Chain A
């Protein structure tokens, strides 16, 4: 795949790059005047009919290709771009081999990666989160685990004339059926957003079996992403741990931003529970997000604990049977144990919804408000040298 080359009818319109991707080369393309995103898979490669090497080697490689095609066509059958609600999932419109190499094509999304989501108003944040959760629900309803949920796999789209940012979920290439993940060596996933059971599976912990990797893996990641979109940072944890999942695995509580409403705090804590079965289902997440007030960041006098703070403290999730109440929560204003990154801001904040002021993210510097005056979004031109 090269700039200006035509690959199976798609003309490549820029220099292919691996920017933002770990296991592919990608570019933008055009076919019949329509813009596309095209992704070249690095593996497997089809052996050429006249290739050297042993027959056995060719057979093994062809078999891997057959499996790869089956897996992709299987996902494409389950996830069709025209399925109801499918508009929020950026799904493959074409999948083919050209020469020795496999390609996947999706609609080109002119998007931006939202650099400072925490600066949006809470209603905006809520819509962003809800569109994301609804996308995930489409997958979970058919027992598909996204498997690599992280902000980099969410394209945030803001239509002209529409005030709201919409989340578009990408990269289903590592998806699997709930309870049927790829092997321990091969499973994809992100070291920061990965769930505790995913990390233990990767670490070859025999007590974590394949069937324990379920849609709850995505819920854990979505819990962390919710905290990130609302506050601009992940929950904090002791410096001893490299990731939230490690802290949770060691039965340490994550330190959530004290400005979260109680309902949001309970939701995020439940979503990041250690035991997959204790995490809420996606439908519960969506119903909690129905009231955009849950996405507010609230002012708390430094001495009050989150659980006793102003907000109505009834647990909005208590009707959900498979979802035990997370109980009373500790706010760690002093920042002990020492957080991994900068401590959460103990400063009372003004609720953003009330004043329209842009909150400062915990761990963010005073630069945050400067930055807000500049564009909040970075346009993805698909070519880092532009």
Chain B
């Protein structure tokens, strides 16, 4: 006599997608190693925290976008992976991270907003019961505004919106119509200096956690705890 209402629909499934945007310009040299090694241990640490809480994630994917500066050198300004499933594709993830060298970039600012735009338009998971879509930005520099002269370069991705107002629309807000991000799933974690455009993004965008790096200090204090908390405490 089990009616439809009585049918058990299976365990609640959580999908977590993370896009790591990593500044790979020369000035990041002193910290890039620690960013990479924390990135490598992220999956087992997240799993351990979830397990300690008696919870689990059904699907974890990570996409990495390394960025430098379109204004300095066009051809290595953006390097990225697709979403990789962890732990299954750990080797591919490791190889990509290993290959990132902190070089170039010329003077600040860098192409951080381009990386952020590409992250926003990632093919996020739309299935399963509940989702977390987290973008993490690691940079020690301000970024060029969108729509500048670089946007006419041949290799400049066509999907990048022409202005920061358009990027905000893609990020979205409660009840927005044009958002590419799912409102209840999205988070942006900024490990970035207290400079534009990051300060403005923290002011104007919702669901942003900004952990300002001190000028000159790079990202030395950086830990993955903030990212793990953002995910684990909200599931």
Is there an interface contact between A47 and B204, defined as CB atoms closer than 8 Å? Answer: yes
The stretch among B28-36, B37-45, B50-58, B83-91 that forms the contact with chain A is: B50-58
Q: Is A48 an interface residue (CB 8 A)?
A: yes
Q: Is the interface of A mostly helix, strand, loop or mixed?
A: loop
CA distance A384 to B233 in the complex (A): 15
Cβ 8 A contact of A45, one of B5, B53, B55, B204: B204
Shortest distance in angstroms between A339's beta carbon and chain B's nearest beta carbon? 12
Within the complex, what minimum Cβ distance (angstroms) separates A294 from chain B? 25
A20 and B229 contact, CB distance less than 8 A: yes
CA distance A348 to B226 in the complex (A): 43
Known A101-B203, A207-B5; judge A64-B174 contact (CB<8 A): yes
Closest chain-A Cβ to B161's Cβ sits at a distance in Å of 12
- Tell me, yes or no, whether A179 is within 8 Å of chain B by CB: no
Question: Does B12 contact A23, Cβ atoms closer than 8 Å?
Answer: no
A93 interface residue per 8 A CB criterion: no
In the complex, whether A304 has a CB less than 8 A from a CB of chain B is: no
Q: Identify which of B19-27, B61-69, B148-156, B162-170 touches chain A.
A: B162-170
A249 in the interface (beta carbon within 8 A): yes
Interface residues on A, range: 35 or more
CB of A249 within 8 A of CB of B8, answer: yes
- Can you name the residue of chain A whose Cβ is closest to the Cβ of B203? A100
B235 contacts A191, CB within 8 Å? yes
Which residues of B have CB within 8 Å of A60? 173-177
Q: Does B14 contact A (CB under 8 A)?
A: yes
Say whether B130 faces chain A, with CB atoms less than 8 Å apart: yes
**Contacting residue for B8 out of A152, A204, A208, A250, CB 8 A:** A250
B234 interface neighbour in A19, A23, A43, A246, Cβ under 8 Å: A23
A29 and B49 alpha carbons, distance in the complex (Å): 29
Interface residue tally of chain B, by bracket? 35 or more
Q: Closest A-chain residue to B186, C-beta based?
A: A43
Query: Which of these, B164, B206, B235, contacts A42 with CB under 8 Å?
Result: B206
Count chain A CB atoms within 10 A of each CB in B8, B229, B235 and give the residue with the most. B8
Are the C-beta atoms of A99 and B203 separated by less than 8 Å? yes
> What separation, in Å, do the CA atoms of A275 and B90 have in the docked complex?
43
Inter-subunit contact B173/A45 (CB<8 Å) = yes
- B126 touches A (CB below 8 Å): no
Q: Which of B104-112, B115-123, B207-215 contacts A (4 or more CB under 8 A)?
A: B207-215
What chain A residues lie within 8 Å of B203 (beta carbons)?
45, 48, 99-101
Q: Is residue A385 contacting chain B, with contact meaning CB distance below 8 A?
A: yes
By Cβ-Cβ distance, the 10 closest A-B pairs, closest first, are A22-B234, A43-B206, A22-B233, A207-B5, A64-B174, A52-B165, A242-B11, A53-B165, A250-B8, A45-B206
Instruction: Give B contacts to A, CB under 8 Å.
Output: 4-5, 8-12, 14, 53-56, 129-130, 163-165, 168-169, 173-177, 182-184, 187, 203-209, 212, 221, 225-226, 229-230, 232-235
**Could you jot down 12 A-B contacts, CB within 8 Å?**
A18-B229, A22-B234, A22-B235, A43-B207, A100-B203, A186-B184, A191-B235, A202-B129, A202-B130, A242-B12, A243-B12, A246-B12
